[in-house]
Chain A
Amino acid sequence: MVEQTVQIVSNQRDTDLYFRLVVRAPQIAPLVQPGQFVHLRILPLKHALLRRPFSIFQVSGDTLSILYKSVGQGTEVLSQMPPGDELSMIGPLGHGFTVPAAGGETPLLVAGGYGMAALYLLAQRSPQKGIVFVGGRRRVDILCEEEFRALGWEVRATTEDGSHGEKGLVTHALQTELGRRAPGRKLFACGPTPMLKAVGQLAAEFNLPAELSLDEHMACGIGVCLTCVVPIQTGDGWEYQRTCTEGPVFDSRQVAWEEAK
Chain B
Amino acid sequence: MNLSVKIGSLTLQNPVTVASGTFGYGAEYAPLIDLNQLGAVVVKGIRLQPVRGNRTPRTFEVTSGLLNAIGLQGPGVDGFIRKYWPFLKELKVPTIINIWGTTVEEYAEVARRFDTLGGVGALELNVSCPNIKEGGAQFGTDVKLLSQVVAACRKATQLPLITKLSPNVVSIAPYAQAAEAAGSDALSIMNSFPAMAIDIATRRPRLANVTGGLTGPCIKPIAIKLVWEAAKAVKIPIIGMGGIQNAADAIEFLLAGATAVAVGTANFYEPQTALQVIAGLRQFMQQQRLQDVRDLVGQCR
Contacts and interface: CB of A to CB of B under 8 A. Distances in A.
A3 B70 contact: no
A209 interface: no
Contacts of A239: 52
A3 B55 contact: no
User: Which of B32, B59, B68 has the most CB atoms of chain A within a 10 A radius of its CB?
Assistant: B59
Interface in A203-224: 216-217, 219-224
B268 A219 contact: yes
Contacts of B65: 49
Contacts of B138: none
B56 A49 contact: no
A254 B216 CA distance: 35
B64 A260 contact: no
A222 B33 CA distance: 13
A190 interface: no
Contacts of B269: 41, 49-51
B61 interface: yes
A256 interface: no
B269 to A, nearest CB: 5
B31 interface: yes
A49 B66 contact: yes
Given A49-B269, A90-B32, A226 B23 contact: no
B24 interface: yes
A1 interface: yes
A224 B24 contact: yes
Interface string B34-69: 000000000010000000110111110101111010
A170 to B, nearest CB: 25
B28 A49 contact: no
Contacts of B23: 224
B99 to A, nearest CB: 17
Interface residues of B, number: 33
Contact of B73 (A48, A222, A229): A229
Nearest to A46: B64
A227 interface: yes
Contacts of A1: 31-32
Given A1-B31, A219-B268, A225 B63 contact: no
B236 to A, nearest CB: 29
Interface residues of A, number: 28
B22 interface: yes
A35 to B, nearest CB: 19
Contacts of A225: 21-22, 59, 68, 70, 268
A217 B57 contact: yes
A47 B64 contact: yes
Contacts of A261: 55
B243 to A, nearest CB: 10
B58 A3 contact: no
A222 B44 CA distance: 15
A78 to B, nearest CB: 15
Contacts of B22: 220, 224-225
A226 B73 contact: yes
Among A51, A220, A239, chain B packs the most CB atoms within 10 A around the CB of A220
A260 B68 CA distance: 18
B268 A240 contact: no
Interface string B8-36: 00000000000001111000110110000
Contact of A229 (B58, B265, B271, B272): B58
Contacts of A217: 56-57, 59
A248 B272 CA distance: 24
B61 A48 contact: yes
A50 B32 contact: no
A88 B270 contact: yes
A227 B61 contact: no
Nearest to A225: B268
A261 B70 CA distance: 16
Contacts of B32: 1-3, 90, 222
A261 B208 CA distance: 10
Contact of A3 (B21, B24, B56, B272): B272
Contacts of A227: 56-59, 68, 70
A11 B65 CA distance: 29
Contacts of A260: 55-56
A219 B24 contact: no
B248 to A, nearest CB: 16
Contacts of A226: 53, 58, 70, 73
15 contacts: A3-B32, A49-B216, A50-B268, A51-B268, A51-B269, A88-B270, A217-B56, A224-B44, A225-B70, A225-B268, A226-B73, A229-B73, A230-B56, A240-B73, A261-B55
Interface of A: 1-3, 41, 47-51, 88, 90, 216-217, 219-227, 229-230, 239-240, 260-261
Interface of B: 21-24, 28-29, 31-32, 44, 52-53, 55-59, 61, 63-66, 68, 70, 73, 216-217, 265, 267-272
Given A49-B265, A217-B56, A217-B57, 10 more contacts: A1-B32, A2-B32, A3-B32, A48-B63, A49-B268, A226-B70, A227-B58, A227-B59, A230-B56, A240-B53
